[in-house]
Amino acid sequence: MVLKDKVIVFLGNTRFDSEIQATSLFIARNLAKENKVYFIDYPFTLKDYFDSSNTSERRKEKFSVFSDGLLNTDIPNLKIIITPPVLPINFLPEGFLFRSILKVNESILGHRIKHILVKEGVGEFIYINSFNFHYPGLADIIKPTLNVYHCVDPMIVPWDMKHGIKSEEQLVKQSDLVICTSKALFIEKKSLNKNSYFVPNATDSVNSAGVNQDDLHALVENLKKPIIGYLGTIERRIDYELLQEVIDLNKDKTFVFAGPTVSEHIPETFFDNPNAHMLGPIVYNEVPQMINSFDVAIIPFKKDEVSSTIFPIKLFEYLGAGKPVVATDFNDDLKDFTDNCVQYCENAKSFTEAIQTELTTNSPERIQCRKDLAKLNTWENRADQIAVILENHLSKI
């Protein structure tokens, strides 16, 4: 890694102990191998605080303004910053009142961060806002040496879009550089900030190793094989019309969908398929065993302007496990990173044919080819690419 012995402050879009691991945490953990990293826990609002009866005691102890606000992790160079709760304001309409109270919230976060950095003897540091567009003005308060925005997804959730569209535009324009996880996002952000870069998502190959290949996950061990599986949130981006047709064409196969569901996006009739099973959320440490249980892994996303900006983490998780992958042709850029290891399909007929082909042609050689490809697309490699970009910009300051 080129970047060494620097201090990096991350504001991520997740909580450090979330069961669903996020890009920001993977990158932070890898950058912490050679640098001192402070990861700011996704801020609680006062509403979150009073609703969170199951919040860990170690986090609660750090909410107080009199606390040092720091938690250690399993990595010596990675520390978690817990901030005091902020005011809940997303319900407010966009305008002067919202932006004024937002500044109060940012000052609460900024005061905690600055206090910790002074106490830790930190002078110069890199600040990376990893898709937390809710606090666009934080960099103005903590004053980093290098200000980075990491755009990891398109903005599609109404709760985010309400204020996020304006806030993210502010972030992109005011950052020293922008790093995007898909080419479509890169092209979009580059029109606002010329110092924009494309570094795609990856996989955690270490987590995929060591799985007992003969054991199926308990939720699928009694289901009829072959098992065609999807792992991830079941929500708006999935092409249910195509899936319905594929499932109808393959009644001899079992389709499983493992992950949280957003029911308003799922057609009611979809639950009526006798050979389709919704398994619910899978805890992080059971993900490798679930993927191992698939005979073919699928990514059945809609082909639209939103999906064209998605570079799914699950793609390389599937490949890292050696699994055949069949996907819709929702993002043409993926082909540049998957050689001939993934089949991309335009309709239900070709999707069905691809599944059958993968089932009948799978071999140890093809399995190893997929694993080798995944090794080229690890979070460690992505962190190294980001480190080079950061070091190059630091050298110009």
Residues in Cβ contact with 170 at an 8 Å cutoff, skipping those fewer than 6 apart: 136, 137
pTM, two decimals, is 0.85
**Per-residue pLDDT, 213:** 63
Topology alike, domains 7-202+379-394 and 205-375 = yes
Q: Which fold has domain 205-375?
A: Rossmann fold (3.40.50)
Positive or negative, the Cα torsion across 232, 234, 238, 244? Answer: positive
What values do phi and psi take at 92, rounded to 5? Answer: -70, 150
Opening angle at CA 52, ends 151 and 133, nearest 5 = 15
Nearest to 135 by CA among 112, 156, 116, 118: 112
Nearest to 92 by CA among 83, 79, 102: 102
Distance CA 252, CA 115 (A): 62
Task: Provide the 10 A C-beta neighbour count for residue 315.
Answer: 26
Alpha carbon separation from 253 to 160, 226, 307, 367, 369 (Å, rounded)? 38, 5, 27, 21, 25
Task: Report residue 274 as tokens.
Answer: 């006798």
Task: Report residue 25 as tokens.
Answer: 């945490």
Per-residue pLDDT for the chain (397 aa), expressed as one digit of tens each? 679 999 999 998 888 877 666 788 999 999 999 999 999 999 999 988 888 666 777 788 888 888 899 999 999 999 999 999 999 999 999 999 999 999 999 999 999 999 999 999 999 999 999 999 999 999 999 999 999 999 988 888 888 889 999 999 999 999 999 999 988 899 999 999 999 999 998 887 545 555 666 678 999 999 999 999 999 989 888 999 999 999 999 999 999 999 998 888 888 888 788 999 999 999 878 888 999 999 999 999 998 877 778 888 889 999 999 999 999 999 888 888 888 899 999 999 999 999 999 999 999 999 999 999 999 889 999 999 999 999 999 988 8
Run of H or E including 197? strand 196-198
| Sequence spans of domains, the chain | 7-202+379-394, 205-375
Task: Report residue 212 as tokens.
Answer: 């007992």
| DSSP code for 334 | G
Identify the CATH class of 7-202+379-394.
Answer: alpha beta
Distance CA 224, CA 254 (A): 6
**Per-residue pLDDT, 346:** 94
3-state helix, strand, coil in the chain (%, to 5): 40, 20, 40
Residues in Cβ contact with 71 at an 8 Å cutoff, skipping those fewer than 6 apart: 16, 58, 59, 62, 79, 80, 82
What values do phi and psi take at 252, rounded to 5? Answer: -85, 0
